[in-house]
Amino acid sequence: MSEDQYAQQDPGAQHGQPDTDDEQQAHPGATDAMGDRPDHGESSYRGSGRLTGRKAVVTGGDSGIGRAVALAFAREGADVVIAHLAEEQTDAEETAQLVKEAGRQAVLVGGDLTDEQQCQRLVDRAVDELGTIDVLVNNAAFQMAQPDGIEAVSTEQFDRVLKTNLYAMFWLCKKALPHLPPGSAIINTSSIQASKPSPELLDYAVTKAGIVNFTKGLAAMLAPRGIRVNAVAPGPVWTPLIPATMPQEKVAGFGEQTPLGRAGQPAELAPAYVFLASQESSYVTGEVLAVTGGMPM
Protein backbone atom coordinates (compact mmCIF):
# COMPACT_ATOMS: atom_id res chain seq x y z
CA MET A 1 0.00 0.00 0.00
CA SER A 2 1.03 3.58 -0.51
CA GLU A 3 1.97 5.88 2.35
CA ASP A 4 -1.39 7.66 1.98
CA GLN A 5 -3.27 4.34 2.20
CA TYR A 6 -1.43 3.41 5.37
CA ALA A 7 -2.21 6.84 6.80
CA GLN A 8 -5.92 6.30 6.10
CA GLN A 9 -5.82 3.13 8.23
CA ASP A 10 -4.04 4.75 11.18
CA PRO A 11 -6.78 4.61 13.87
CA GLY A 12 -5.58 7.86 15.36
CA ALA A 13 -5.80 9.68 12.05
CA GLN A 14 -8.60 7.83 10.23
CA HIS A 15 -11.00 10.47 11.50
CA GLY A 16 -9.91 13.91 12.61
CA GLN A 17 -10.78 15.29 16.02
CA PRO A 18 -14.18 17.03 15.67
CA ASP A 19 -14.11 20.80 15.52
CA THR A 20 -15.98 21.51 18.74
CA ASP A 21 -15.60 25.29 18.77
CA ASP A 22 -18.92 27.00 19.55
CA GLU A 23 -20.81 23.69 19.39
CA GLN A 24 -23.73 24.19 21.75
CA GLN A 25 -27.44 23.53 21.35
CA ALA A 26 -30.55 22.72 23.32
CA HIS A 27 -31.52 19.15 24.20
CA PRO A 28 -32.20 16.79 22.47
CA GLY A 29 -29.92 18.22 19.79
CA ALA A 30 -30.09 17.92 16.02
CA THR A 31 -27.59 16.68 13.47
CA ASP A 32 -28.17 19.58 11.08
CA ALA A 33 -27.41 22.07 13.84
CA MET A 34 -23.91 20.68 14.29
CA GLY A 35 -21.12 22.62 12.65
CA ASP A 36 -19.04 19.45 12.36
CA ARG A 37 -21.51 16.73 11.36
CA PRO A 38 -20.82 13.22 12.61
CA ASP A 39 -19.92 10.43 10.19
CA HIS A 40 -22.57 7.69 10.28
CA GLY A 41 -21.00 5.64 7.51
CA GLU A 42 -23.06 7.23 4.74
CA SER A 43 -20.19 6.98 2.23
CA SER A 44 -18.10 4.26 3.85
CA TYR A 45 -20.19 1.38 5.18
CA ARG A 46 -20.40 -1.59 2.82
CA GLY A 47 -22.75 -4.45 3.66
CA SER A 48 -22.20 -8.12 2.89
CA GLY A 49 -25.58 -9.69 3.64
CA ARG A 50 -24.86 -10.58 7.27
CA LEU A 51 -28.39 -9.59 8.39
CA THR A 52 -30.39 -10.56 5.31
CA GLY A 53 -34.07 -10.88 6.14
CA ARG A 54 -33.70 -9.77 9.75
CA LYS A 55 -36.19 -7.43 11.42
CA ALA A 56 -34.63 -4.93 13.82
CA VAL A 57 -35.83 -2.32 16.29
CA VAL A 58 -33.36 0.46 17.09
CA THR A 59 -34.25 2.96 19.80
CA GLY A 60 -32.65 6.37 19.63
CA GLY A 61 -32.31 5.61 15.95
CA ASP A 62 -32.74 9.14 14.67
CA SER A 63 -29.13 10.32 15.05
CA GLY A 64 -25.69 9.49 16.36
CA ILE A 65 -24.91 5.85 17.11
CA GLY A 66 -28.53 4.84 16.46
CA ARG A 67 -28.46 6.28 12.95
CA ALA A 68 -25.18 4.57 12.17
CA VAL A 69 -26.57 1.25 13.44
CA ALA A 70 -29.80 1.59 11.42
CA LEU A 71 -27.82 2.42 8.29
CA ALA A 72 -25.42 -0.52 8.76
CA PHE A 73 -28.23 -2.95 9.54
CA ALA A 74 -30.08 -1.89 6.39
CA ARG A 75 -26.99 -2.27 4.22
CA GLU A 76 -26.54 -5.74 5.74
CA GLY A 77 -30.08 -6.65 4.64
CA ALA A 78 -32.31 -5.87 7.64
CA ASP A 79 -35.57 -3.96 7.80
CA VAL A 80 -35.48 -1.40 10.60
CA VAL A 81 -37.96 0.18 13.01
CA ILE A 82 -36.53 3.51 14.17
CA ALA A 83 -37.79 4.72 17.56
CA HIS A 84 -37.30 8.41 18.30
CA LEU A 85 -38.62 11.34 20.31
CA ALA A 86 -41.34 13.32 18.55
CA GLU A 87 -39.14 16.42 18.48
CA GLU A 88 -36.47 14.46 16.59
CA GLN A 89 -38.71 13.82 13.57
CA THR A 90 -36.44 15.59 11.06
CA ASP A 91 -33.38 13.57 12.05
CA ALA A 92 -35.47 10.39 12.12
CA GLU A 93 -36.70 11.00 8.58
CA GLU A 94 -33.11 11.39 7.39
CA THR A 95 -32.24 8.04 8.98
CA ALA A 96 -35.29 6.42 7.39
CA GLN A 97 -34.20 7.73 3.99
CA LEU A 98 -30.79 6.08 4.41
CA VAL A 99 -32.50 2.78 5.22
CA LYS A 100 -34.77 3.07 2.19
CA GLU A 101 -31.85 3.92 -0.08
CA ALA A 102 -30.34 0.60 1.00
CA GLY A 103 -33.47 -1.10 -0.34
CA ARG A 104 -34.92 -1.98 3.03
CA GLN A 105 -38.13 -1.10 4.87
CA ALA A 106 -37.96 1.75 7.38
CA VAL A 107 -40.67 2.30 10.00
CA LEU A 108 -40.65 5.46 12.13
CA VAL A 109 -42.21 5.35 15.59
CA GLY A 110 -42.15 8.62 17.53
CA GLY A 111 -42.76 8.82 21.25
CA ASP A 112 -41.24 8.98 24.71
CA LEU A 113 -40.02 5.59 25.96
CA THR A 114 -40.17 6.72 29.59
CA ASP A 115 -43.87 5.86 29.18
CA GLU A 116 -44.41 2.10 29.52
CA GLN A 117 -47.38 2.21 27.15
CA GLN A 118 -45.22 3.81 24.46
CA CYS A 119 -42.83 0.88 24.79
CA GLN A 120 -45.77 -1.45 24.20
CA ARG A 121 -46.90 0.61 21.20
CA LEU A 122 -43.39 0.40 19.74
CA VAL A 123 -43.30 -3.38 20.00
CA ASP A 124 -46.83 -3.70 18.61
CA ARG A 125 -46.02 -1.45 15.67
CA ALA A 126 -42.83 -3.37 14.89
CA VAL A 127 -44.71 -6.68 14.85
CA ASP A 128 -47.59 -5.22 12.81
CA GLU A 129 -45.26 -3.74 10.20
CA LEU A 130 -42.48 -6.35 10.02
CA GLY A 131 -44.16 -9.52 11.30
CA THR A 132 -41.59 -10.25 13.99
CA ILE A 133 -38.54 -8.88 15.79
CA ASP A 134 -35.14 -10.58 15.41
CA VAL A 135 -32.90 -7.85 16.80
CA LEU A 136 -33.68 -5.36 19.57
CA VAL A 137 -31.18 -2.54 20.07
CA ASN A 138 -31.77 -0.57 23.28
CA ASN A 139 -29.81 2.54 22.42
CA ALA A 140 -31.99 5.48 23.52
CA ALA A 141 -30.43 7.41 26.38
CA PHE A 142 -30.66 10.64 28.30
CA GLN A 143 -27.88 12.49 30.07
CA MET A 144 -27.44 16.00 31.40
CA ALA A 145 -24.09 17.02 32.83
CA GLN A 146 -24.16 18.72 36.23
CA PRO A 147 -20.68 20.12 36.94
CA ASP A 148 -21.89 21.61 40.26
CA GLY A 149 -22.23 18.20 41.87
CA ILE A 150 -24.95 15.96 43.26
CA GLU A 151 -26.76 18.95 44.76
CA ALA A 152 -27.55 20.10 41.20
CA VAL A 153 -29.12 16.78 40.18
CA SER A 154 -32.85 17.19 40.66
CA THR A 155 -35.21 14.33 41.40
CA GLU A 156 -36.89 15.11 38.07
CA GLN A 157 -33.58 14.67 36.21
CA PHE A 158 -32.72 11.50 38.14
CA ASP A 159 -36.12 10.02 37.28
CA ARG A 160 -35.74 10.89 33.61
CA VAL A 161 -32.25 9.41 33.35
CA LEU A 162 -33.28 6.16 35.01
CA LYS A 163 -36.55 5.84 33.12
CA THR A 164 -34.93 6.50 29.74
CA ASN A 165 -31.82 4.40 30.24
CA LEU A 166 -33.03 1.56 32.48
CA TYR A 167 -36.83 1.37 32.66
CA ALA A 168 -37.31 1.61 28.89
CA MET A 169 -34.73 -1.13 28.31
CA PHE A 170 -36.46 -3.36 30.86
CA TRP A 171 -39.92 -2.70 29.44
CA LEU A 172 -38.86 -3.24 25.83
CA CYS A 173 -37.04 -6.49 26.56
CA LYS A 174 -40.04 -7.80 28.49
CA LYS A 175 -42.59 -6.76 25.87
CA ALA A 176 -40.53 -7.87 22.87
CA LEU A 177 -39.70 -11.29 24.32
CA PRO A 178 -42.88 -13.06 23.14
CA HIS A 179 -41.96 -12.06 19.58
CA LEU A 180 -38.25 -12.99 19.67
CA PRO A 181 -37.63 -16.38 18.04
CA PRO A 182 -34.57 -18.52 18.84
CA GLY A 183 -31.55 -16.94 17.17
CA SER A 184 -32.65 -13.43 18.08
CA ALA A 185 -30.30 -10.89 19.60
CA ILE A 186 -30.74 -8.12 22.15
CA ILE A 187 -28.03 -5.45 22.16
CA ASN A 188 -27.90 -2.81 24.86
CA THR A 189 -25.81 0.36 24.77
CA SER A 190 -23.72 0.78 27.90
CA SER A 191 -20.75 3.17 28.14
CA ILE A 192 -17.20 3.66 29.38
CA GLN A 193 -19.05 5.53 32.13
CA ALA A 194 -20.11 2.16 33.56
CA SER A 195 -16.61 1.59 34.90
CA LYS A 196 -15.01 5.05 34.74
CA PRO A 197 -17.73 7.49 35.83
CA SER A 198 -17.27 11.19 35.24
CA PRO A 199 -18.39 13.15 38.33
CA GLU A 200 -20.61 15.48 36.30
CA LEU A 201 -22.45 12.45 34.84
CA LEU A 202 -23.10 10.64 38.11
CA ASP A 203 -26.70 9.62 37.45
CA TYR A 204 -26.00 8.66 33.83
CA ALA A 205 -22.99 6.55 34.85
CA VAL A 206 -25.13 4.69 37.41
CA THR A 207 -27.55 3.63 34.67
CA LYS A 208 -24.76 2.53 32.34
CA ALA A 209 -23.34 0.29 35.06
CA GLY A 210 -26.85 -1.06 35.59
CA ILE A 211 -27.09 -1.89 31.89
CA VAL A 212 -23.97 -4.05 32.14
CA ASN A 213 -25.43 -6.00 35.07
CA PHE A 214 -28.83 -6.30 33.39
CA THR A 215 -27.19 -7.55 30.19
CA LYS A 216 -25.26 -10.30 31.96
CA GLY A 217 -28.25 -11.42 34.01
CA LEU A 218 -30.69 -11.41 31.10
CA ALA A 219 -28.17 -13.26 28.91
CA ALA A 220 -28.07 -16.12 31.42
CA MET A 221 -31.87 -16.07 31.71
CA LEU A 222 -32.54 -16.20 27.96
CA ALA A 223 -29.73 -18.52 26.82
CA PRO A 224 -31.95 -21.61 27.16
CA ARG A 225 -34.40 -19.96 24.76
CA GLY A 226 -31.68 -19.40 22.15
CA ILE A 227 -31.69 -15.62 22.55
CA ARG A 228 -28.37 -13.83 22.98
CA VAL A 229 -27.98 -10.62 25.00
CA ASN A 230 -24.89 -8.44 24.74
CA ALA A 231 -23.89 -4.82 25.17
CA VAL A 232 -21.69 -2.30 23.41
CA ALA A 233 -19.82 0.19 25.59
CA PRO A 234 -18.87 3.31 23.62
CA GLY A 235 -16.23 5.73 24.75
CA PRO A 236 -16.52 9.41 23.79
CA VAL A 237 -18.44 9.51 20.50
CA TRP A 238 -19.31 12.66 18.55
CA THR A 239 -23.12 12.90 18.40
CA PRO A 240 -25.73 15.67 18.88
CA LEU A 241 -26.13 14.53 22.49
CA ILE A 242 -22.72 15.98 23.37
CA PRO A 243 -23.23 19.68 22.57
CA ALA A 244 -26.85 19.37 23.74
CA THR A 245 -26.08 18.04 27.24
CA MET A 246 -22.59 19.16 28.18
CA PRO A 247 -21.18 22.63 28.98
CA GLN A 248 -18.95 24.25 26.36
CA GLU A 249 -15.80 23.70 28.42
CA LYS A 250 -16.46 19.94 28.36
CA VAL A 251 -17.37 19.91 24.66
CA ALA A 252 -14.09 21.60 23.81
CA GLY A 253 -11.48 18.90 23.30
CA PHE A 254 -14.10 16.17 23.70
CA GLY A 255 -12.42 12.76 23.33
CA GLU A 256 -8.84 14.00 23.32
CA GLN A 257 -8.19 12.10 26.56
CA THR A 258 -8.39 8.72 24.81
CA PRO A 259 -5.19 6.85 23.86
CA LEU A 260 -6.13 7.41 20.21
CA GLY A 261 -6.36 11.11 20.96
CA ARG A 262 -9.76 11.86 19.48
CA ALA A 263 -13.48 11.29 19.79
CA GLY A 264 -15.00 8.36 17.94
CA GLN A 265 -17.48 8.67 15.11
CA PRO A 266 -20.82 6.83 15.05
CA ALA A 267 -19.66 4.94 11.95
CA GLU A 268 -16.93 3.36 14.07
CA LEU A 269 -19.50 1.94 16.51
CA ALA A 270 -21.91 0.39 14.01
CA PRO A 271 -19.76 -2.67 13.13
CA ALA A 272 -19.82 -3.78 16.77
CA TYR A 273 -23.63 -3.89 16.69
CA VAL A 274 -23.61 -5.71 13.36
CA PHE A 275 -21.26 -8.34 14.79
CA LEU A 276 -23.44 -8.89 17.86
CA ALA A 277 -26.63 -9.03 15.77
CA SER A 278 -25.23 -11.51 13.23
CA GLN A 279 -24.57 -15.24 13.43
CA GLU A 280 -20.87 -14.46 13.44
CA SER A 281 -21.27 -13.94 17.19
CA SER A 282 -23.43 -17.05 17.75
CA TYR A 283 -21.27 -18.17 20.70
CA VAL A 284 -21.16 -14.73 22.32
CA THR A 285 -23.67 -13.79 25.00
CA GLY A 286 -23.50 -11.83 28.23
CA GLU A 287 -20.54 -9.83 26.96
CA VAL A 288 -19.73 -6.12 26.83
CA LEU A 289 -17.86 -5.05 23.72
CA ALA A 290 -15.87 -1.91 24.46
CA VAL A 291 -15.36 0.60 21.62
CA THR A 292 -13.57 3.29 23.57
CA GLY A 293 -10.57 4.51 21.61
CA GLY A 294 -8.28 2.55 23.92
CA MET A 295 -9.75 3.61 27.28
CA PRO A 296 -9.83 0.45 29.46
CA MET A 297 -13.14 -0.69 30.89
> Crossing angle of helices 266-277/64-75, nearest 10°?
50
Q: Cβ neighbours of residue 151 under 8 Å, at least 6 residues apart?
A: none
162: helix, strand or coil: helix
Residues 121, 179: Cα–Cα separation, whole Å: 14
- Known active-site residue 45: no
The dihedrals phi and psi of 11, each to the nearest 5 degrees, come to -60, -25
Q: Cβ neighbours of residue 159 under 8 Å, at least 6 residues apart?
A: none
Are 288 and 218 in contact by the 8 Å Cβ rule? The answer is no
* β-sheet bridge partners, residue 266: none
- Sign of the dihedral through C-alpha 203, 142, 129, 228: negative
Query: Residue 197 burial by CB count (10 A; 0-12/13-18/19+): exposed, middle or buried?
Result: middle
Q: Pick the catalytic residue from 6, 167, 204, 283.
A: 204
79: helix, strand or coil: strand
Residues annotated catalytic, as ranges? 204
